[in-house]
Amino acid sequence: MNAEELFTLSLKAIWGNKMRSFLTTLGIIIGVFSIIVLISIGTGLQSYINKQIAAFGPNLIDVMPGNMNSIAGMAGSMTEKLTMQDAKNLKRKFINTAKVAPTIQQVANVRYKNTEDKNVFIIGTTAEYPLVAQNTKVKIGSFFTRGQEISKVVVIGPTVLKKLFNDKPALGKKIFIGNSTYSVIGVTDKIGSTFGIDMDNMVYIPIEVIRQQFGSTTIREIIIAANSKELVPIVRKQTKEILLKRLSEDEFSVETSESISSTVGNITGMLSVALGGIAAISLLVGGIGVANIMLVSVTERTKEIGIRKALGAKRRDILLQFLIEAVMISVTGGVVGIILGMVASIAIAIVLVSSVTLWSVLLAFCFSVAIGIIFGMAPAIRASKLSPIDALRYE
């Protein structure tokens, strides 16, 4: 028999049992759909995080409490042992090679007259902050200067401007942060969300003022921006040397944009593989369904196989027919699963993060073909080995 006849017979057999074929295909569809969606989420997450990190600039060096490369160190990050003196020591060291901005973070309610914005992120920092965090630009007014670092002045984000002032002019207006009054001197440009946090629902106040109001004695983060990309390795090394004079290696981390991106890439890469592996399990279950249905089909069509063999059909023809049926079911399910997975990924990208990659599509398709061949082979071999006489006698 030629290939066209084999495909025609296989298609007729599948079409003759529509509901059973659909339910068998459904298992493959779900498996492939899961692979596409889960890998797309993992890939999209990696791309999104790298984009957010890149927004801070290639010269970024981030000093955080705790060693992010060890479990013990991460637990130690809760102690927050960085101090203002550490920031001052770094600033003196890098007076000609980098800008340094320590930060303290708090959450508080911000009020203007009778309007309140709850759970606003309060960033206490220094005048160098806009030079270090390159994604923070002042659109209206100005950031506070060194001469204002002991004054109760505040720079607000666009979300705060909208909630408190309904996007009307806010410069010079007095707002309350907790029980303290601050004067608005600037409004930042829109940043958007970073890691699910609205970066525009923030206010920036001098670090000495936030320390006095909230009683903060430790620094949550020290951000350093080298004057050039070439200086980043040198500044990072010198930063570690300075901090090691007072702290142990497990009490702080010094990360660059590149090292953070690399770490994030490793984590999200492992996450994508893990999610893909979980989805592959459902595809494996779908493959077992294919094998089960094909075995049932062989049993039901035993007489048909006997008649075809009696009329001269070769063992290879029978094997190929049943194998083609299994592959057609799997490939159909794979194609439908890929289409649905891509549509779902595009829909997810509107709300969260998701990015369909060519390799995930090819992987899912190859998986579906492999499932058809692997799980269709045993039933096909069984059908091809049936004796014509025994097959014709089967009731």
**Which of 312-316, 371-375, 390-394 holds the top average pLDDT?**
371-375
For the chain, percent of residues with pLDDT exceeding 70: 84
Query: What is the domain partition of the chain in residue ranges?
Result: 3-51+264-393, 102-218
pLDDT band at 4 (very low <50, low <70, confident <90, very high): low
Does the pLDDT value for residue 329 go beyond 90?
no
- pLDDT: which is higher, 389 or 265: 265
Q: How far is CA 315 from CA 28, 308, 319, 386, 388, in A?
A: 28, 10, 6, 9, 10
Q: Return the pLDDT at 286.
A: 76
- Residue type at 137 in one-letter notation: K
> Alpha carbon of 202 to those of 106, 109, 211, 360: distances in Å?
10, 11, 17, 38
Task: Work out the pLDDT band at 287, boundaries 50, 70, 90.
Answer: confident
b/e string for 279-317 if b means 16 or more Cβ within 10 A?
bbebbbebbebbbebbbebbeebbeebbebbeeebeeeb
pTM of the model as a whole: 0.64
The pLDDT of residue 153 is 95
Whether the per-residue pLDDT at 74 is higher than 60: the answer is: no
**Can you tell me the distance from the alpha carbon of 385 to that of 226, in angstroms, rounded to the nearest whole number?**
74
Question: Count of alpha carbons within 13 Å of 220, Cβ hemisphere only?
Answer: 12
Six token digits for residue 6: 């084999």
pLDDT of residue 72: 47
Neighbours of 137 (CB within 10 A): 12
Residue 188: its pLDDT value, please?
A: 94
Average pLDDT estimate for 351-358: 78
- Banded model confidence at residue 305, pLDDT cuts 50, 70, 90: low
Burial of 33 (0-12, 13-18, 19+ CB in 10 A): buried
Contacts (Cβ under 8 Å, ≥6 apart) of 72? 250
Is-contact 326 380, C-beta < 8 A? yes
Lookup: tokens for 61:
């060096």
Q: Determine the pLDDT at residue 299.
A: 67
Please state the rounded mean pLDDT for residues 209-217: 84
Amino acid at 123: I
Give the mean model confidence (pLDDT) for residues 314-334: 80
Provide mean pLDDT across the span 239-260.
Answer: 87
